[in-house]
Structures are given as structure tokens and as C-alpha cells.
Chain A
Amino acid sequence: MLESFEALKNWKSAIREQATYRLEILVCAGTSCLSSQADTLLEMFTHEIHEYSLDAEVVLTPTGCFGFCGQGPILKIEPDNVTYVQVGADDVKTIVDEHLNAGRIVEHLLYDPPGQKRSTSEAGMPFYQKQHRVALKKCGVIDPENIEHAIKHSAYEALGTVLHTMDSDDVIDIIKQSGLRGRGGGGFPTGLKWQFTSTTQADEKYVVCNADEGDPGAFMDRSIMEGDPHTILEAMTINGYAVGANQGFIYIRAEYELATQRLFKALSDARKHGLLGQNILGSGFDFDIEIKLGAGAFVCGEETALIHSMEGYRGEPTTKPPFPSDVGFRTLPTNVNNVETYANIPSIILEGQRWFQSIGTKNSKGTKVFALAGDVVNIGLVEVPMGITVREIVEDIGGGVDGDKKLKAVQIGGPSGGVITGDDLDLPIDYDSLQSAGAMMGSGGLIVMDDDTDMVEIAKFYLEFTEDESCGKCTPCRIGTKRIHEILHRLTDMEGTPEDLELLEALCNNVKNTSLCGLGQSAPNPVLSTMHHFKNEYEDYAYRRKKTSYSIDADKCIGCTRCKKVCPVDCISGSVKTVHVIDESACIACGACDDACPVDAIIRP
């Protein structure tokens, strides 16, 4: 039981002074790597370490996400600073024999991409070079189920500082000045939101962590909770102190079993040590946290729907105003924040608002975690300073478009977001710049799309999701998303008409303007964005009832006939050494010719 800030600091010192092991094996135990059998690796390592009587010398640490998910399972050996990628069960013995016992690096397990230098550590990987891990600071460094690891890395020090040296208003000031904006997608200034709840008068107030992370393919929040749960608990306690709440809730989607488990463990450990509960660190401040599970609804990521779900009602949004800072959980003032927003709080307190301001752009401070996926070479979880360009993320961090393809679009913001094209790749990642380009930051989904992508199909895919997830309360979302989806289906089923395009655009704008909550208001975004940038694909479906076809660049074609040979519908004409031509009315845009062409002469207008 820590009864003072001093006690916490002493504990940290004591942990740091503990004798260290000769070697530490950090194995990623996030959901992604676990699904690639990292748990087997952990078992085998445990067994082998014991077999070789290395228990006193080598410690095995399961950690949170390293980020380079496409190369998983990943493990790191410290203090050697060696990273092994795509480690399989068969490699365990080799690592133990070679590296642990003989001190030799296992070359074939190093990151060695074609056409690039092989590297022994993250420093040598282009994937990491432009990243700046703040929210993910402790992920991949500590065992998330061991509070001592967290303490060793300064967990709860920010809380101690806040409770013992600051007023609640001081805290709010710092967060306001830092420029932190909500990381769940809304981008609302966090300090201001805290201030609203702080100034509302009430006998009881609440803080809520929105861990519902519903965007398909997004796993930023999941990784933070799996890899560093104490940071969230600490940040929520600081939030409670700042706004005058003694009770916090974490609303986490039930599908996040591992994260939930780790949060429960962290809660239990924190309580045991007096870091949660009554009189925290002897400050006189009481605060505790309860976990509430979601029940499988994307709409419950919307703060009012989330609150009603917690209250036991149907997870449906209600109109704002009133805002939760006035009328929230149990009609009392409630401050809802996203997981990643919280993950930044302790760092801001410890390093100061100036430090946070020094990262990012004028209006978007700090970093953002993205789930980088799609047709890109390097897939994984990345954290970058705001202001970095989309190009840097896609090319430098992502390694560019996978295969021999060209970049067609980058989808940002999940089902609420839009696309930007190659023309806008130099846009900085910044709430306002993305907004003015017709895209949005969103919660952090970033999907790279190559030129084989059918943009109308993409829009249809997102509408299938939002139509299914609509709560059904308001007319435009309940019926509108269905009708939008039906029009997209008509188009891709080759049954569309030119009127459908007009209808589609008008309906999308109206659903956007009239829906009751953010789900309906943003559901049409993927359609509007793709219609704007890829009008020709929509027109080909609507006017000509065909997919936008390929064509051959006459300047590049060498007449090798390879494309003609692979075309499944026989729509390419030309003889040897003459420029070939694709009959666009017959082309089904399968991409086979593009794959076959040795000189990259196949283009998609």
C-alpha cells in the first residue's frame, strides 16, 4: 500500500536498483502476434530457458505491440538491442542455442527485406525511423501484466505529481495549453472538454474511457490497452481529479477479451497498491474505476449512445445539446475521452505542455497512432508526429505500395472517412488540413489502395458496414444508409442508370446533413469522397454499365503480346511488335494484363 508520493518514488527506485538479468527476451504478446502463435513461442522459451538452466540469467517478458505487425511474431533481445522477426516455433531452439548461449546473432531471423539493408534493430528499419512513440511508449517495453514494470518506467508518477503539487484547475490549464485534441476522431480540444465538465455544478460527476474502438481494422486503442493498461488508469484518475469526479468507467467492446483481461489485472494491482481507491497516495483524493462491456454495436462508440448503454438502455444516441459535460451518465456531468487521448496525459504532465507543443503542427499537437494496412509493404501500428505527410507514412514508413502496383488512393478515417489521391500525398497529417481536403483524421485507420482497387466497391463495402451498424433511431440513417447501399449495389450489379448518380449524391448530402448522430452524419463520406475523386468509375457503372477498364499507354507498349495472351475476355488486339489496344467496352478490369506487362504500360484512367 503506497501511502504517499514518496513511497511511490521509493518503490520505483527500489525496482530500478534490482539486479538485472543478463538477457531479456521481449516477445510481443498482443492479439495480432498471439494469433500467429506467439503464445507457443512464450511457452517454448519458458521451457528451453529452464532446460538450459538459464533461469537466473535470462528473463522472458511478454509485451504489448511492437508495431511492425506484418513482420510478426516479433521478439527483441536486450540489452543486445537485437530484433528478430517472423519468428516461428522452430526458431526457438536456435535462438536459445545460438544467441542466448553462444552470443551469436541468428542472421536468418533478422529483418532483411528485398532490395534493402538487413538490420539488427529497429533503428535500422525504415518502418521505425520517422515514428515517435508517445501513446505507445511502453508498448513493447514492459510486461503489461506486471505493475512493477510499469512503475519502473514511471507509471503513476504523473498522478503523484498532480495530486501533490497541482490544483484541479492547474491540470486543466496544462492540458489546454498542450493543444491535445481528442484522438477518437472528433478532434475536439481535450482541455476545453475537461473544463466544461469541471465547471458544471453537480454532487457527482463521472469520467469515461471510450474503448469501444469500432472502426473495422482499427486496433490502436486495443494495442494501447493490451500493452500498457496502467497508463489509462493513471490518466483517468488524473482526469477525475481535474474535473471533480471520483468514479470512472471504461466502456470496452466485449470483443477485446485480452485487453479487458489486462485491464482487470491492472485494476486489481493498482488497488492493491493504493493507486486506486480511497486516499490515493495519501492525497485525500478517492477514485476508482469500473469496467463495462459493450455488446457488439459500433454506434456505442458515440458518446451519448455509450452512456445510455452503460445506463442499461438501448445503445442509441440522443440529441446534443445537452452535451455529456452537462447531462451525461445518470444525467450527471460526464467527461468521455478516447483511449489514445488518455494515453498522452501522463507524458504531458511529466514532460510538460511545452514539450507536447513542440511536436506536431500549429493546430494539431502531439502524435497520432495509425493502423497502417492495405496494399502497402509494411503493415502495422505506427505512431507519428502530426505534420508528417501522408507520403512519408505510405512510402518511408510503409515501404510503398506492395507488388508492382501504383498507388491509387489512401483511405483515412475508416467508415466515417474519405480518400485522398496521389495528388494529395504531400498533405500533412493534421486535423484541419485533412478536413479541408475532404478527408478526416478519424480514429487512425489508414488504408493504402493500389490501382486494382474498384473505388465504387470500396464505397459499397463501407456502406454495408454502416447500414448494418445503424441503430435505427433516426429516419435518414435507418432508411438512408440502406437506400445508399442499394444504389451502390445497383451500380455494381450493372443495373445502374445516370439518374442513380444524381440521386446518390443528393441522398448522401441529405443523410449527412440530417442524421441525428455522427454515425449517420459520416456514413456517406466514403461515397462522397470517392465520387469526387473517381467520378469516372461511377460514371462507367451508371452510364455504360461496366467497370472502369484498363488501357494501354501507346508510348510504353513494346508489343510483346503477353497481355493479349492472359486476357480472359480476349479484348486486347495487336500483333507482335505493334502497339496493343484494349477494347474498353469489353474489358472487365481484372488486372491480369497489368500483372503480365513487363514494361508497366497498362494504365487505369
Chain B
Amino acid sequence: MHVPSMQSLDLEEATMGKEYSSVRITINNITLEVDHGSTVLDAAKQAGINIPTLCHLDLHDLDAINQSANCRVCLVENETRGNLVPSCAEIVQDGMRIQTDTKKAVQGRRTSMELLLSNHPKECLTCVKNLDCDLQELSNSMNIKDIPYQGEMMNHPVDDSSGAIIKDPNKCVMCRRCMTMCDEVQTVGVLSPLKRGFDVSVGTAFHLDLSETSCTYCGQCVSVCPTAALAEHPHVPNVWRRLNNPNRHTVVQIAPAVRVAIGEMFGYEAGEISTGKLIAALRRLGFDGVFDTKFGADLTIVEEANEFLERLNNDGPLPLLTSCCPAWVNFIEQKYPDLLDIPSSCKSPQSMVGSLSKTYYANTMGIDPQNIRMVAVMPCVAKKAEAARDELAYGEQRDVDYVITTRELGAMIKEAAIDFNNLPDDSFDDILGESTGASSIFGTTGGVVEATARTAYERVTGKTLENVEFETIRGMEGLRKASVTLNGRTINIGIAHELKNARKLLDSIRSGESDLDLIEIMACPGGCIGGGGQPFHHGDINVLNKRREALYTLDKNNVRRKSHENEQVKTLYQKFLGDIGGQKAHKLLHTSYSKKLRI
């Protein structure tokens, strides 16, 4: 009787369809074991082999993966079959043999790039993405010095209708990263390919201007676009004009997320805290007053905690939704107009500082508010649209006149030839400039509600909060729940970042299922640190993590860590505003929302 050998037994098991947890692949004659389900690109990384990619985007901690495999830049050769396969999407099969640099593969990849470049404007020198462009980087690394295919080029109209995002389809390489962010991460779904073949472009339904669609201006499309097809609407020229106008008193405020990211534009690692240098640079640029948006954040907490407690004690409406994220405000106005009694009526910190700069600051310093111009530096492109909202003005005076992104400010500093790295540290103005640790964490998911909790705790219990760090509120998961007990009452807190998670929260509120009392929503993955106006992360999630850690460090390093401890805020109420939540506070620091109908 024939006894099967051990080897043939294994074969039998294999043919029975048993799944292995690891798979063997040979790339460029290097054999390695990789996890089952890995792509050829994953395996190549493991083996230290570099394969160029373009449309590929892998932020899987944020569930943002673009794997459309359509740019055809990452092609490698499958030795066994002799065909070219996209390494970003090809799943490793046991025994696969791949060669990344055969003539066929190299020429194939190169042709894809040459074709893309043949249909791309050659205005790198004046393009907003010059030196920060994925397409440029690839073309350079592939040493492309000649484009052999000349012919017709795309000619689509540019959409600059929104004042926040500019869409230039002529610079588009059709990578579809923007669609992945808009459809899958944000579930807003404003962008889609239109028409077909050479005439294809990424655009909106019926070719509507972005401002007529349900685009929330979250800017995540901008943050992942490999070229300048999607970019922020530039406001720097306006800011220069104001700075150079002797009749204008131009003041500036900086958001928390800006100071832990702008260093990246000057060679520092992500998460470098550059507050001192930033203030120094702003003064050298010519700003007459330098304020801290974090002051506004503390103020927001004081007002919002008050509003929350009022609702808590007067039977609703609950939950209270924090409202400093303008993209999320756009989202709720368009998609959940039936829930508009739920957001806090507080303005965003940006708008509060803006509004006070033209009233409190103007009064205190004896400056005619008509001459004051307020510039906000934000990690966000949606803030540009927020500043233009009808509701955020006081008569003829806008709360905020211009918003520039972290990137735009970095460019201004370079333009002014300021040696950022060697600037001595400077500090904010004595008015609208102080901040507590609580306001630092506004820039990360969970931060706003944690700051609210710190103040609410002390107001309700009358006791001092010893441990200010609410670990249960922190984290990077898209949808989180936590609870806090205030005087025996459990407060249920919901935290969401990315609009797809916001949608889930809002659906549960609408359906009545939700038992939440306090909700924080941030549209951007990770919160403002990952905003559409920040220095590009080029797909590296560590950049976001480091910025977040820096904000928590800023919180820890501050002696005062609760918003209501802010001395300048106390002075503001004493000398100018009066009661918390009082009439004047309402006039200057609160706003309203309305249903907006869009496609």
C-alpha cells in the first residue's frame, strides 16, 4: 500500500483550499514572505524596493485608500505571465514572480508619465504647487527631460466661484484621490468624472460651480491632490495690499493647528512648536496686532459651556453640537436643516476674535474700527468661506476680512525673505493674546469637547478639577463615545471626525436613537491638524500624529489648563461684555444658521 509522503500530504491540504496567513513572493529575485492580502507594492516596500506611484493613496488609519490603479505609473512585470500589472492593486499570490525594472516595465511607466505631461500645463514656475507637487517630483525622479508626445491639451474652465477652493481641471491627472476623499471619507460626493475619453474631467453635477453644490469646502480634496488641480483660493495679495496701506490697521490671529505645522515649511519636523517665531515673523511682515485664536477658543468654551448648562437645566434642546468647524456647519445646513436647533449658537473662535478686534480692541486702543482689517491664519480652506458668511458681520464690518492658510503664510514669510529659523521668539499682544492649555487641543479631534468638559465640570460641581486630561474622549477612531459625570448626572459625549462619521451621528440624532448630550464634529481626518490648508502630508499619517502630540504637549506645558482661568477673558467680561451669555455677548459672539439648498 502506498503511504503518501509528508510532502504530498501538504499538497493535498493546499489543494483543499486552505488559506495561508502569509504568502511567498519573489521580487527582483529577492524572495520574501508577506501577509496574505498584501499588494505587490506592500511587498516591494518590505523588500526595500522603490516603485513610483501617483494615484495611489494609503491612509488606512483614516480609512482613506485610493486604489483605482488608473494612473499606470506603478506598473511592474509579472515574470510568469509576461504582462504588466499595477503594483498598488495587484494582490500577492503565492509563488508570484515580479520584476520591477524590465525594459517593458520601465518603458511602460515612463510612457504613462510622458503622456500625462503631454497633457499638462507647463507653468510650474508660477504654479502654487511649485516645488511641492507630486507630479513634478515624479517627473524629476524619473529623469524625464523630453516629452515626445505633443498634441491637443485639455481646455476646461477654471472654477473659482467658492472663494475657498479653486478647481482647475487642466492640471488634473485624473488620479481620483479627491473623489475618494469626497465620496468615501466625507460622504459628500460632489466630484465625479464627467464625459469620457480625452474630454473627461473631474467635476460637479451639471457642471455647476462649486459654490452651487453641497461642497462643504472641507478641503480634503485639496490636501490629497497631487497637483494644483484643486487648491486654495489665494488671499495673500489682498493681505499684502492691506499691510502696505498706511491707513489700515491690520491685525492677525493664528489658529492652534498652524503653530505645530508651519515649521514643516522651514525644514522642521512635523509637530515642531513654532509659536514664538511665528509671532516674530508676523510682526516683521507688518501686522499691527498679533492675536491668538486660542483666546477666542477659551472664550468659546466659556460661552458654550454656559449654553450647554442652560440647555441641560431647561430640558434641551440636546445634544449640543459644537460649531467651530465651518465645513461641518455647511454640512448640517445642507443635509440636516431639520436639526438646526442643535448646534451651539456660538461663533467660531476665529469669528469671536474677529468681532472683538473691531469692537473691544478698537475701543480699548482708541482705533477707528473702520480702519481695522482682520486676517486669520488657519489650517483650513473652509474658513475662507466662513469669513464671507452674511451672518458673520457687524453692520458693514466683517468679523474677519481675509483668511490665509498655513501654507499661504509660509509662502508670505519666504516672499518677505524673513529668516524664519533664526527669529527670536516673540509673544502675542496683551489683549486678545492669552490662552489656556484647553484651547490648544482645539485643533485635534476630541479637543473642543474636552475643553468644554473641563469648564463645565467646575461650573456645575463648584469643585476644582484635578485631573484635566479626559482620556476617554481622546483617540483617533472616527466615531467615539465617552461619558463624564457631573454632580451625579451622566453626560454622554459623542465625538466624530470625517463627515462620514458625522453623518452617522446626525442620523442617529434624527432617528431619535441617540442618547448623547454633547457632540463634537470635525470634518477633517484627525481634526484641524489635518485641515485642507496645512502643509501637505503627501500620504504620511505620521505627520498628523506628530502635530496632534504637539498640541497635547502645548496643553501640558501651560500652567492654566481650563478656559475659564484665562485672565484676559475675565477682563473682557468685566470691562466690556458684561454677563456670560448676556445681551452684548450674544450680539458679538453668537450667530445663527439657516437651511441651504444645494445639489
Where the two chains meet, the residues of A that have a C-beta atom closer than 8 Å to any C-beta of B are 297, 299, 314, 316, 319, 321, 467-476, 478-483, 486, 503, 506-507, 510-511, 513-516
Contacts and interface: CB of A to CB of B under 8 A. Distances in A.
Given A472-B200, A475-B174, 20 more contacts: A316-B193, A467-B197, A471-B196, A472-B195, A472-B196, A473-B68, A474-B70, A474-B72, A475-B112, A475-B116, A476-B115, A478-B200, A479-B115, A480-B111, A482-B152, A483-B115, A486-B151, A510-B107, A513-B84, A513-B104
A481 B75 CA distance: 19
The 7 closest A-B pairs by CB, nearest first: A472-B200, A510-B111, A470-B197, A479-B115, A486-B151, A514-B108, A474-B70
Nearest to B176: A473
A486 B108 contact: no
Most chain B CB within a 10 A radius of its CB, from A316, A510, A515, A516: A510
Contact of B198 (A316, A478, A503, A506): A478
A503 B148 contact: yes
18 contacts: A314-B192, A321-B90, A321-B91, A467-B197, A470-B197, A471-B196, A472-B174, A472-B193, A472-B198, A473-B70, A475-B174, A478-B200, A479-B115, A481-B198, A482-B198, A503-B149, A507-B149, A511-B111
A514 B74 CA distance: 10
Contacts of B86: 319, 516
A478 B152 contact: no
Given A475-B72, A476-B72, A486-B152, A514 B112 contact: yes
Given A475-B174, A507-B111, A516 B70 contact: yes
B327 interface: no
A67 to B, nearest CB: 35
B83 interface: yes
A515 B72 CA distance: 7
Contacts of A321: 90-91
Interface in B53-106: 68-73, 75, 83-84, 86, 89-91, 104
A473 B149 contact: no
Contacts of A472: 174, 193, 195-200
Contacts of A511: 111
A480 B115 contact: yes
A475 B115 contact: yes
B25 to A, nearest CB: 15
B359 interface: no
Nearest to B149: A483
B119 interface: yes
Nearest to B117: A479
A373 to B, nearest CB: 26
Contacts of A470: 196-198
B28 interface: no
B118 interface: yes
Contacts of B196: 297, 299, 469-472
B197 A475 contact: no
B121 to A, nearest CB: 14
B197 A468 contact: yes
Nearest to B175: A475
B195 to A, nearest CB: 7
A473 B197 CA distance: 8
Interface residues of B, number: 37
Interface of B: 68-73, 75, 83-84, 86, 89-91, 104, 107-109, 111-112, 115-116, 118-119, 148-149, 151-152, 173-174, 192-193, 195-200
B90 to A, nearest CB: 8
A319 B149 CA distance: 26
Nearest to B119: A479
Contacts of B200: 471-473, 478
Contacts of B69: 319, 516
A271 B199 CA distance: 44
A478 B71 contact: no
Nearest to A316: B193
A416 B108 CA distance: 20
Contacts of B119: 479
Nearest to A479: B115
Contacts of A478: 174, 197-198, 200
Most chain A CB within a 10 A radius of its CB, from B68, B84, B149, B192: B149
B505 to A, nearest CB: 27
A199 to B, nearest CB: 9
A521 to B, nearest CB: 9
Most chain A CB within a 10 A radius of its CB, from B73, B91, B115, B199: B115
Given A473-B193, A476-B72, A478-B198, A483 B107 contact: no
A475 B198 CA distance: 10
A423 B386 CA distance: 73
Contacts of A319: 69, 86, 89-90
Nearest to A315: B196
Contacts of A476: 72, 111-112, 115
Contacts of A481: 197-198
B196 to A, nearest CB: 5
Contacts of B149: 479, 483, 503, 507
A478 B120 CA distance: 13
B72 A516 contact: yes
Nearest to A468: B197
B215 to A, nearest CB: 20
A519 to B, nearest CB: 10
A512 to B, nearest CB: 10
Contact of A475 (B71, B84, B195): B71
Contacts of B192: 314
Contacts of B193: 314, 316, 472-473
Nearest to B17: A199
A473 B192 CA distance: 12
Nearest to A299: B196
Contacts of A480: 111, 115
Contacts of A473: 68, 70, 174, 193, 200
B72 A482 contact: no
A473 B89 CA distance: 15
A146 B196 CA distance: 41
Contacts of A469: 196-197
A594 to B, nearest CB: 35
Contacts of A483: 115, 118, 149, 151
A479 B195 contact: no
Contacts of B115: 475-476, 479-480, 483
A319 B89 CA distance: 8
Contacts of A299: 196
B91 to A, nearest CB: 7
A523 to B, nearest CB: 11
B151 A482 contact: yes
Contacts of B195: 472
Contacts of A514: 72, 75, 84, 108-109, 111-112
A314 B176 CA distance: 14
A137 to B, nearest CB: 38
Nearest to A520: B72
B41 to A, nearest CB: 13
A240 B315 CA distance: 60
Contacts of B91: 321
Most chain B CB within a 10 A radius of its CB, from A299, A319, A479, A480: A479
Nearest to B201: A472
A469 B195 CA distance: 11
Nearest to A483: B149
B599 to A, nearest CB: 18
Nearest to A466: B197
A74 to B, nearest CB: 39
Nearest to B148: A503
A274 B104 CA distance: 56
Contacts of B89: 319
Contacts of B151: 482-483, 486
Contacts of B197: 467-472, 478, 481-482
B177 to A, nearest CB: 14
Contacts of B68: 473
A468 B197 CA distance: 6
